[in-house]
Structure 1
């Protein structure tokens, strides 16, 4: 809750106490008890209202609504049972009335408890049915925050490679909004970029996009919510997050990692191949230079420190594939030719 909202809420609570105090004083005078007793009663009522208001912020509304409908269903069931038992006899004795009251209380309580506990599962089952209709082979994919901010998913969608329904959970939108409102300028820019990417994706008429409201209040981490949702609807998670990737795979959830896709479609580079690169900085080893391909692949060039800022021809000696990506090791073409001449 923001500071302004908190101050406004405290003012309202203070006003409730003041109204309770004034009401209690005049009400006490009206029923001929002391003004002090009326004030105490009024303040107690005001404090009770504030306590209820504070508790309502923590209430699981889904469970509350489920409990209410369960209670009503329990009462209906109880009355149908007692009606069928006592209708023919028209028994109105105290014993029969007590039995009816007991049955109503029992079934009402059972409905309240079961409805409250099962409300979330009932709601989730509806969502699952939405995605698993008979005859529907739709491939559902859930977007996470990292893949939205990254932005490449929008370009991939435009190529037509992404099929099926794209799901954007409401809790992902809230996280993006939270990042966009951050006081840190870098985070704020990342959040706003993510929102812009979402708008771009939604404008693509060929995509089937759905924003769902389903949340999991008992799960605090967004990654955990994504995994549970994916298991529930049988969907795949689209992400760039390495940790989420591993957590999801451990729990049997399919993951589509954009970084892995990018590595898979990079042009194949073979030892001996010649290319032209620009040396941008020195490497970790003595006299090494470092360059980058257009796709971001790092190229390490032996004995190229003296060529920083210049374009040079290099020959590939080896390629190293790591979890972070691909590294290409090369030597200057002129050095190779010089060595061949000497030999």
Structure 2
């Protein structure tokens, strides 16, 4: 396709050159008779146009071959050069040309007459020298320039006041349950969450519906969720966006969340165990707050001793139940008779489940 375009282009160039050549010839003294005869003049112009057009049409394959070889050579040469050298070399050449133009504009005022032609030649040479010089300096100093730009950017960011940050991480889509839970606010405050927080419109609608419920408990949960959203928008140094687009063909909110995560190539933040399993089945990335909480709980090994208060009886006969400060449940063998007392216990085993961690212990003495 490129060869055909180039051949047509060179043919057009031949036709134009034929017309220009015929015009120049007709201006000469040797063809004054043709100028007076319009028919012969037109025939001569057409002849010159056709001859040069045919010549350029015939030789265009060789010209195309030379151009393609030159392009291939330039392409292979540029591919060997790092991108940073190309960019800095181009920038340096442009700066060199700007400096040369500024110098030429001041010297152009004093050049006149015969000096104008000499000045034009000097101007072209100076442009070439300055372009090569600028490109060479920029390539050799590119590491220093990169460090300079980085330090300027870093100092500029340090002087600015804290503002909503835009992170490079993938979008994080908030589930209704994790908004009501409220721990997402504390996690975002620690800067462990990267990327834009996405609050879908259908999640907001569900929260408002819960906040307007006649059930007092549900109403309080919905209002708590709305309060958490307001705190996230006003107090967090992270970008928050409301996504208004809905998926009318999907009825369930959980499925809408998974569909939105696929569309935005983001991750769903939730503490809903069932949503987590459905997301794993569909291949949608999920960040589960409960799994994070379990992961950061202190590790307890069998044989360790601790002091806990036995609060209530367990399911099995003679068992007592106590809790650590982080909410981990401890099942104490023979602890039922010591409910309300603080006892020293020894860990016998640890059971890790998706719902949390459970520790089994027995009384020390």
**TM-score interval for Structure 1 and Structure 2 normalised by the shorter chain:** 0.5 to 0.7
5 Å-filtered alignment, 1:14-53, equals: none
Larger Cα Rg: Structure 1 or Structure 2? 2
Separation of aligned partners in 1, 2:318 and 2:243? 55
5 Å-filtered alignment, 1:161-180, equals: 161-180=192-211
Q: Per-residue deviation at 1:244?
A: 1.1
Secondary structure of the residue aligned to 1:193 is: helix
- Is 1:331 the counterpart of 2:362 in the alignment? yes
Find runs of 4+ consecutive structure 1 residues off by over 3 angstroms. none
- Is 1:197 the counterpart of 2:228 in the alignment? yes
Separation of aligned partners in 2, 1:256 and 1:321? 18
> What do the CA deviations read for 1:42-76 (whole angstroms, capped 9, x no partner)?
xxxxxxxxxxxxxxxxxxxxxxxxxxxxxxxxxxx
5 Å-filtered alignment, 1:276-291, equals: 276-291=307-322
Which of the numbers 185, 188, 193 marks the counterpart of 2:219? 188
5 Å-filtered alignment, 1:99-118, equals: none
- Is 1:244 the counterpart of 2:282 in the alignment? no
Separation of aligned partners in 2, 1:270 and 1:225? 42
Which of the numbers 173, 181, 188 marks the counterpart of 1:157? 188
Secondary structure of the residue aligned to 1:162 is: coil
Aligned residues: 199
Q: Per-residue deviation at 1:138?
A: 3.5
Residue aligning to 1:148: 179
Contact 2:279 2:286 in 1 (8 A): yes
Q: Per-residue deviation at 1:204?
A: 2.3
Which of the numbers 342, 346, 356 marks the counterpart of 1:311? 342
Separation of aligned partners in 1, 2:184 and 2:324? 21
- Is 1:223 the counterpart of 2:239 in the alignment? no
Residue aligning to 2:305: 274
Which of the numbers 240, 257, 264 marks the counterpart of 1:209? 240
Residue aligning to 1:299: 330
Q: Over aligned residue pairs, what C-alpha RMSD do you find?
A: 1.2
Separation of aligned partners in 2, 1:209 and 1:316? 44
State the TM-score, normalizing by the size of structure 2: 0.53
Separation of aligned partners in 1, 2:329 and 2:233? 34
Structure 2 unaligned blocks of 5 or more: 1-166
